[in-house]
Chains A and B, each alone.
Chain A
């Protein structure tokens, strides 16, 4: 998991890329939109169900009354009926569009899930060939190079390199071995070398691949808690408007202006929150889809929603905040040694060091001291040089070249080497080394034996390097009211130094998994919602306790089951993106709810004067839009109400633009945009449609 940040998930996605409005998806969605007219589907959405019933009633009325009506009355009833049906169809279309990309991707995954055969090991050690679908928990299977692993499980014997690109999209093979945190294998991936024995841990039909298909397809999509609450609000509003419209007829009767039922239904459909009712499920599906596009599999929509609510982020230091490895940050020479001299020696001693630390010394010397072209022997390439690689006993690496020797390594090891070679160790060395360690860095001493004289040249300061842009990220998170806690095994002093540099709010140093769990519980008791990433089995309790637990795909099966999301890229920095996607989902939902309700004001000003100004001419003064006729006013409102759904499909699928701002600023911006915009837009829209209708000469 120590992969560097910024690895682009998009390039390595296992699923075929499709744009949101891929023509194939649009075609499929058009068909789905009609299929979704089934009352059982509609009944799940109370608002749209009312529209469906309204459409059926107006259709029946149109047919029944057609004979007795004038041509103009028939055209009016037909057009209202038509656009009521369109309202339902547009809502279905929006949902089908949101589901489209996931469905297409699930189909691809199904194709790649070939019918695999497994070699199951009998208790006596012999093997039998069975279909993978018959494997049950506890079965042991032998998988050799070139074969596909038949199911999810743990390696219990052997070690092998495995190609997991079918799941992760990552083509570089990974090592899987028995015992420890790298034992988990996923069904559908391919063994590239060696032979392993896998003990199956997933029941047939419940494997990771199965779950992945179900998730991208949205087959098991349940309404999230906030969606349920929002549906209650929308149903409540629908009932209120139903009351307002139903009681309007007696009031109209009293006033001598009895209304046509088609007109009353048109008014009802315009008033109930159809816009958000039509787009609500599309917004939720699209939110899940955006997670999938970033290679994060959320096990439920609830988890996506919770990620928007997160108030505390637990971030592992290594790999998330800092690059995985320590890097050279400075050369500190001993008295009497020039810095360049030290740089050259450090460079030479590291040429043989293939660790990330060693490589970082080489590149630092090149970049900051212009050390270039020095061969191993210091004066061009020599053949006599002997590389001395790092070993656990010497804890040094270096080069021997014809009497010239250079070593780099742990301070005490280098000290001993210098003393053994007859040199003096300057007192400054201990001070410098201690200073570096105190600041959270790692000191590496560099020494040489030149012409028989051994001496210490100086110290290389290795330190954790905070990834670029992290401070800005944390500032943004803070602005959004999210507290960041860095979790590390380092001692408190080191941890604090890195935390200050990165700009996180708090530190959990010398952290054990138990500490992590305790921290999460403490935060939650204080009302916080906590998100974290983890990969090891000992992370599992914390992942389960956290409100949002993102398990790395490279992690153990236990970790993946404990969390409520899996990151296929195993990139812990992605936790921040997960939070942003969650917030974006909620903002989109809120924006369109506000927009939808604000829309109603204009519709009243269109429809009420149209209904009554015939009998009560004074009410024509409410026709502030100056709509051409009663019929065109009502039609314009109905048409606007239907078209606004289509107009808002892109925003509900892509989500509103997200910017890291404080809640107060976001509220002001969005209220202005969607609240005020929602008030004004329909005045303009209805007027334009009215102009079009009268220009066409319909009414």
Chain B
């Protein structure tokens, strides 16, 4: 790997180490139980206005059931609004190139995709969606679906932090505060930086240009930067353009690429520190951050090295893949030359470790191992660092699982942060752990033998299986990135992936809220030398082990027949 690649990686870690604790502290104040938070003078009037319009009493806290119902109700309305907007866009304004309304199966898939924070795109961005749909539908969901995930996280942390309580906060308040205080200001800043790098922001339709060769080319326009900022920050990932962040109008320079990579990771990593502060033990937050960083770091290095290492088959053909003055070296199929294999590998690991799913290279074209790593990173349940809010939830579930398996070995029934983990909690944890693999493996298995589904494949053999597995791993984990070889616009895929996205979202969120509701009632056993420590490197290693072993045992057979055999056959 090139020196520049390493430098970029190390600088990114340093920037994260500086910014994540700062943002985490701020987020803890946004969701914390203290009355005051920074920026009240600016934000409070806005929020009060929203509460008044929506008739929300911000003082009224909710039990987990009411919290969950509010969340489901909100998501349902969001889904219907987005579905309606797509179906009617042909007769609505802000449609300069007069795009038709979206087909029902695609509209269903997209509506599910954006309300579940997946942003799987079974359509071409600039050639399907009007500016109104992009701004009033997709971009709005980019904000609120991310805020929903963060709200669930806030509820879970409160469940762990409070003792002998019954309520978890107010969903509408958490949704509003997350959007107004975290996502909007950060997006504004990131959008400005992106515009400075040449990312487009206008209301134009297509500009007609004549190329040097004399051909006629349509150059698209639109409000790009504003949407790209939130697509990265909110771990959404849905591109303004079909080529996503590989498109120069979305991601123009090395600087914009760096800022976007940072934007993908910053909120999920910051959540770890927010968690530590909110439960009143910052060591716990640092441990969670360490776990996230270790897994993400290992996967990033793996992906960067494999993509930089090139493909041995090409060596056999006498193609040079080494770094020289003239070329960046490595395996460049499906990659942007301006980013090179290292930055592409780093992005691939980052976008799959979060539930982001935006891409700056085509994962389908990556080396089998690089593609396999991206796939496995999603199959870990996206906990390193995971989607905004939901990533921390997943990691805390894994921590509880680790505590339960190994915690008995200290001679006490398991407890996390002083709260006993009993049958009721284990049921919810197992529901959470089961939902994603169940929907992923079931649909992938059917797709592997169902003739109609097989027609969507661009490749046969192990790579074809990888395309199927990747597609459902992405949907079931609400990632949204794709092995582009798969044609997912068929009725089979729009439907099954739509279901997979719904399961991957709500069958995870509801157990988490129920778990929070169960935990919030418990007393916290005070920590003593007899308490299993959950802030040490040993515990961190244990959680990493549980994440890897649980995912490994679940997906190893399938992966063996896809990316692993493909890699071993090289």
Contacts and interface: CB of A to CB of B under 8 A. Distances in A.
Interface of A: 225-226, 228-230, 232-233, 235-236, 239-241, 243-255, 257, 271, 305, 308-309, 311, 478-483, 525-529, 582-584, 586-587, 589-591, 593-594, 597-598, 600-601, 604, 608, 612, 616, 618-619, 621-622, 658, 662-664, 666-668, 670-671, 674-675
B45 interface: no
Contacts of A612: 560-561, 565
Nearest to B524: A527
B483 to A, nearest CB: 16
Contacts of A244: 437, 441, 553-558
A590 B406 contact: yes
A587 B409 contact: yes
A240 B437 contact: yes
A263 B31 CA distance: 52
Nearest to A483: B528
Contact of A228 (B411, B423, B525): B423
A255 B429 CA distance: 34
B437 A243 contact: yes
B405 A667 contact: no
B410 A619 contact: no
A481 B560 contact: no
Contacts of B401: 233
A675 B406 contact: yes
Contacts of A664: 529, 532-533, 536, 538
Contacts of B542: 671, 675
Contacts of A247: 441-442, 444-445, 558
A627 B17 CA distance: 46
B529 A478 contact: yes
A663 B444 contact: no
A586 B408 contact: yes
A601 B552 contact: yes
Contacts of B88: none
Q: For A254, A305, A582, A583, which residue has the most chain B Cβ atoms within 10 angstroms?
A: A254
Interface in B407-459: 407-414, 418, 421-423, 425-427, 429-430, 433-434, 437-438, 441-442, 444-446, 448-449
B529 A662 contact: yes
Contacts of A622: 560, 564, 568
Nearest to A611: B557
B549 interface: yes
Given A236-B434, A590-B409, A667-B532, A229 B426 contact: yes
B411 A583 contact: yes
Contacts of A255: 462, 465, 561, 565
A12 to B, nearest CB: 29
Given A229-B421, A250-B448, A618-B569, A590 B552 contact: no
B3 interface: no
A599 B460 CA distance: 34
Contacts of B525: 311, 527-529
Given A244-B556, A254-B448, A590-B406, 20 more contacts: A229-B425, A232-B427, A233-B430, A236-B430, A240-B553, A247-B442, A482-B530, A526-B526, A583-B412, A589-B408, A593-B405, A594-B405, A597-B405, A597-B549, A612-B565, A618-B569, A621-B568, A662-B529, A666-B409, A670-B409
A481 B415 CA distance: 14
A601 B549 contact: yes
B418 A527 contact: yes
B433 A663 contact: no
B404 interface: yes
Given A247-B444, A481-B530, A527-B418, A586 B557 contact: no
A526 B418 CA distance: 11
Contact of B526 (A225, A233, A309, A527): A527
The 4 closest A-B CB pairs, nearest first, are: A481-B530, A590-B408, A583-B411, A236-B430
B353 to A, nearest CB: 22
B333 interface: no
Given A612-B560, A664-B536, A671 B406 contact: yes
A174 B531 CA distance: 43
Interface string B508-534: 000000000000000111101111110
B124 interface: no
17 contacts: A229-B423, A232-B430, A233-B426, A233-B429, A233-B430, A239-B434, A241-B553, A245-B557, A248-B558, A478-B529, A587-B408, A594-B406, A604-B553, A663-B410, A663-B412, A663-B530, A671-B538
Contacts of B429: 233, 236
A589 B524 CA distance: 24
Contact of B531 (A253, A481, A593, A675): A481
B524 to A, nearest CB: 5
Contact of A616 (B526, B528, B565): B565
B96 interface: no
Contact of B433 (A236, A481, A582): A236
B73 interface: no
B38 interface: no
Nearest to A579: B411
Interface string B236-280: 000000000000000000000000000000000000000000000
Interface in B317-338: none
Nearest to B522: A527
A229 B538 contact: no
Contacts of B533: 663-664, 667
Nearest to B412: A309
B413 A225 contact: yes
Interface in B56-89: none
Q: For B410, B411, B425, which residue has the most chain A Cβ atoms within 10 angstroms?
A: B411
Contacts of B529: 478-481, 662-664
A244 B469 CA distance: 13
Interface in B182-218: none
A658 B449 CA distance: 53
B312 interface: no
A250 B425 CA distance: 34
Contacts of B565: 255, 612, 616, 618-619
Contact of B412 (A249, A586, A591): A586
B470 to A, nearest CB: 14
B545 interface: yes
B528 A248 contact: no
A668 B406 CA distance: 10
A255 B562 CA distance: 9
B437 A666 contact: no
B561 A251 contact: yes
A254 B467 CA distance: 13
Contact of B423 (A225, A582, A593, A675): A225
A45 to B, nearest CB: 16
Contacts of B536: 664
Contacts of A254: 448-449, 464-465, 561
A465 to B, nearest CB: 29
Contacts of B523: 525-527
A663 B564 contact: no
Contacts of A593: 405, 408
A591 B409 contact: yes
Nearest to A619: B565
B528 A671 contact: no
Contacts of B410: 587, 590, 663, 666-667, 670
A253 B448 contact: yes
A240 B433 contact: yes
Contacts of A225: 413, 422-423
A671 B564 CA distance: 30
Nearest to B538: A668
Given A247-B558, A250-B449, A594-B406, A481 B528 contact: yes
Contacts of A666: 409-411
Nearest to A231: B423
Contacts of B568: 618-619, 621-622
Contact of B448 (A236, A251, A527): A251
Contacts of A239: 434, 438
